[in-house]
Amino acid sequence: MKNKNVADLDYCKLSLRNEYAALMEKADSCLSLSELFARDPERGERLRCQAAGLTLDYSKQSITDEVFEELLKLADSCQLPRHINKLFGGDIVNLSEDKAALHTALRTPAEVLPDELGMISAELDKLAQLVFKIQQGVWRGFSGKRITDVVNLGVGGSDLGPLMVSHALDEYRDEGGKNLKVHFASSMDGSQLFQLMEHLAPESTLFIVSSKSFTTIDTLSNAQTVRDWLGHYCSDEAMLLRCHFIGVSANRNRMTQWGIHSENQLEFWSWVGGRFSLWSAIGLPIALSVGVFAFRRLLAGAFQMDLHFRSAPLAENLPVIMALLGVWNVSFRDIRAHAILPYDGRLKFFPSYLEQLEMESNGKSVTQLGEPVDYMTCPVLWGEVGTNAQHAFYQLLHQGTQPVVSDFIIAASRYDGPVQQPHQDALLKQHDLNISNCLAQSRVLAFGAGEQPGLLNSFRHYPGNQPSSTLVLNRLEPESMGALIAAYEHKVFCQAVIWGINPFDQWGVEQGKEVAVKLQSILQPGYDGSEPVDSSTQALAALIRQQRNKK
Ligand code: F6P
């Protein structure tokens, strides 16, 4: 890793850049989407970018060619290409923690990795061996039975990425993966675990304790609960630890202290951010489900997006365009809500994965140099499978008072691929129905519908002019999934560069964790009132203690 070079601290407030005022002015005189399309019949064809099996249609974004040019100038003035090189070159890009962010190295083929990063391939090989042993039944539980169930215990980046991808690629399970059920438990209250423990057989269940820091209380409390649970069935603790726990962490010492057997430890490194870690050994649940071959295909797809991102000119660079559109919408047009709408049940967990990726990364209000910003940064991001969301929150998108930008995500082909489906014809029809719903929704959001408002028909009026992008995957497969995730990762990085903020720290979250530890004592029955807390927290804790006494 390279040293921080103070001369490189070229982050500054977006509002101090020359392009800021020009873009603000343009945002004030924005044409409606209907007008933009009326003026340019080629717009739908023109505003499109393709890379690594993905097509981004951004014709329904409220931008003109002049705005786009100005946004590109802004990216230039922020020296975006130089920052991209620094990211990939292992420079210190996370200034507050003095760290590089080299998640892209995790998906770089071994042949082109620099020698000093050789440990990445070694760890991937170790992961492959573990997967083989578990899938093939070489790995046995304490009673000698093969493993039938694996539970990933982790939270945040140690849960959302593997959960999301395992679900998305479920149809690509290999033979070994079909013998295993992979489960996820993240909630600190133990409720997910509780449900699992009701059904799982301890002797054939393996737990992955996944935690970059190996200090996160959510994960460690779940891990302790299952350790105690297993202890009821087998009194040989050393055997339990050897046969039923794998640890994945950047903190080997902590894994060892907890009791993870050295051969069962998979390591990654402090320069991989938690929310960027699914490409590391944190991806073990993915490899267990779909096999190591498909896991490597996922990495290969992400690498293709990396190559594009590093080499394509800014005006044709898919993640850069996504980033610029985002900056335009939130910082200049004041659109503070961003909906993620995959029209594909396999991408059910993609919105929650992106919530962490985007909001934990860019939910910041000071620059890399610690100065407060005076413009909007990350919008509120949320989402749902599109067709379900249509019956939940689309009403607000169509007729509410909030401007909302949306990302629609679809796979062009489905059910006709290498994996044969039963009832294929019916499913193909359903896929078309699904896609037509997606197209219909983005269209109505953009152009509106219904009569002009009048006394009687104003309820039926859809004003339109809600911007959106549509991301089309040729097919949802390991490579395109990898490319899709990498595109969003790079989008987040580019936005951070333009906003002048650090996307790789999360100090706000750390604070909450510390406060929670301090507050544990105030729930205890004999609490002596010694903790200096506000009256609301004090009263709530008293109420909880009282309610507990009643039963
Ligand atoms: O929620 C904050 C956070 O620090 C995330 O950034 C991280 O992904 C998550 O906690 C889990 O952390 P760890 O992997 O260290 O248990």
Does the model's pTM come out above 0.85? yes
Taking residues 336-340, what's their average pLDDT? Answer: 98
Q: How far is CA 138 from the centre of its chain?
A: 33
Burial label for 543, CB within 10 Å (0-12, 13-18, 19+), is exposed
Three-state DSSP at 73 gives helix
Residue 423 pLDDT grade (very low, low, confident, very high; cuts 50, 70, 90): confident
The overall longest dimension of the chain from CA atoms, in Å, is: 77
Q: What span, in angstroms and rounded, lies between the C-alpha atoms of 20 and 377?
A: 14
Give the pLDDT confidence of 465-514 residue by residue, as tens digits: 999 999 999 999 999 999 999 999 999 999 999 999 999 999 998 877 77
How many Å lie between the centroid of ligand 1 and the Cα of residue 154? 8
Name the residue with the closest Cα to ligand 1, atom 2.
Answer: 509
Cα angle value 104/105/106 (rounded, 5°): 90
Which residues form the catalytic set? Answer: 360, 391, 513
Residue 6 pLDDT grade (very low, low, confident, very high; cuts 50, 70, 90): very low
pLDDT at 551: 62
For residue 420 the two structure tokens come to 């044969």
Question: Per DSSP, what are the bridge partners of residue 372?
Answer: 366
Compute the Cα dihedral for 470, 318, 362, 185 and give only its sign.
positive
How many Å lie between the centroid of ligand 1 and the Cα of residue 543? 31
**Cβ atoms of residues 178 and 209 within 8 Å:** no
Closest among 341, 346, 488, 340 to 417, alpha carbons compared: 346
Task: Please state which of the ranges 138-142, 193-197, 412-416 shows the lowest mean pLDDT.
Answer: 412-416
Ligand 1 atom index nearest CA of 274:
8
Amino acid, single-letter form, for residue 417: G
Q: Percentage of the chain with pLDDT > 70?
A: 96
Amino acid, single-letter form, for residue 353: Y
Question: What does pLDDT average to over the chain?
Answer: 94
pLDDT at 448: 93
Q: Name the residue with tokens 């982050």.
A: 11
Q: 4-91+312-451+461-499: CATH homologous superfamily?
A: Glucose-6-phosphate isomerase like protein; domain 1 (3.40.50.10490)
pLDDT at 161: 98
Q: What Rg, from alpha-carbon coordinates, does the chain have?
A: 25
Test site for ligand 1: of 212, 272, 278, 514, most ligand atoms within 8 A of the Cβ? 212
- How many residues are listed for the chain in this entry? 551
Cα angle value 391/168/60 (rounded, 5°): 55
Q: Name the residue with tokens 């890793």.
A: 1
For residue 73 the two structure tokens come to 């100038």
Q: Name the residue with tokens 């103070």.
A: 6
Name the residue with the closest Cα to ligand 1, atom 16.
Answer: 211
How many Å lie between the centroid of ligand 1 and the Cα of residue 359? 13
Ligand 1 cavity residues, CB under 6 Å: 155-158, 211-213, 216, 219, 274-275, 360, 506, 509
Taking residues 428-432, what's their average pLDDT? Answer: 93
Q: What span, in angstroms and rounded, lies between the C-alpha atoms of 469 and 60?
A: 6
On the question of a common fold for 4-91+312-451+461-499 and 103-296, the answer reads: yes
Ligand 1 atom index nearest CA of 250:
15
Q: What span, in angstroms and rounded, lies between the C-alpha atoms of 349 and 57?
A: 23
How many Å lie between the centroid of ligand 1 and the Cα of residue 165? 18
For the cut 80, the answer to whether the pLDDT of residue 34 exceeds it is: yes
For the cut 90, the answer to whether the pLDDT of residue 378 exceeds it is: yes
Residue 3 pLDDT grade (very low, low, confident, very high; cuts 50, 70, 90): very low
pLDDT at 430: 93
**Cβ atoms of residues 151 and 206 within 8 Å:** yes
How many Å lie between the centroid of ligand 1 and the Cα of residue 271? 14
Task: Please state which of the ranges 41-45, 380-384, 404-408, 543-547 shows the lowest mean pLDDT.
Answer: 543-547
pLDDT at 480: 98
Give the pLDDT confidence of 299-314 residue by residue, as tens digits: 999 999 999 999 999 9
Ligand 1 atom index nearest CA of 157:
8
pLDDT at 542: 87
Strands (E), 354-426: 380-383, 404-413
Q: How far is CA 152 from CA 75, 148, 205, 215, 318, in A?
A: 40, 14, 11, 16, 33
Looking from the CA of 336 toward its CB, the CA atoms found within 13 Å total 6
Task: Please state which of the ranges 297-301, 320-324, 365-369, 538-542 shows the lowest mean pLDDT.
Answer: 538-542
pLDDT at 421: 72
Ligand 1 atom index nearest CA of 216:
16
Test site for ligand 1: of 213, 248, 364, most ligand atoms within 8 A of the Cβ? 213
CATH number for domain 103-296, candidates 3.40.50.10490, 3.40.50.10300, 3.30.56.10, 1.10.3720.10: 3.40.50.10490
Scanning 53-190, the segments in alpha helix (DSSP H) are 65-77, 80-88, 119-135, 160-168, 175-178
How many Å lie between the centroid of ligand 1 and the Cα of residue 276? 11
Test site for ligand 1: of 103, 153, 155, most ligand atoms within 8 A of the Cβ? 155
Residue 179 pLDDT grade (very low, low, confident, very high; cuts 50, 70, 90): confident
Q: What span, in angstroms and rounded, lies between the C-alpha atoms of 441 and 448?
A: 10
* Spans of all domains in the chain: 4-91+312-451+461-499, 103-296, 508-550
Q: What span, in angstroms and rounded, lies between the C-alpha atoms of 89 and 105?
A: 9
Q: What is the 3-state secondary structure (H, E, C) of 244-295?
A: HEEEEECCHHHHHHHCCCHHHEEECCCCCCHHHCCCCHHHHHHHHHHCHHHH
DSSP assignment, residue 337?
E
Ligand 1 atom index nearest CA of 218:
16
Residue 8 pLDDT grade (very low, low, confident, very high; cuts 50, 70, 90): very low
pLDDT at 74: 97
pLDDT at 454: 66
Task: Please state which of the ranges 79-83, 475-479, 516-520 shows the lowest mean pLDDT.
Answer: 516-520
pLDDT at 114: 92
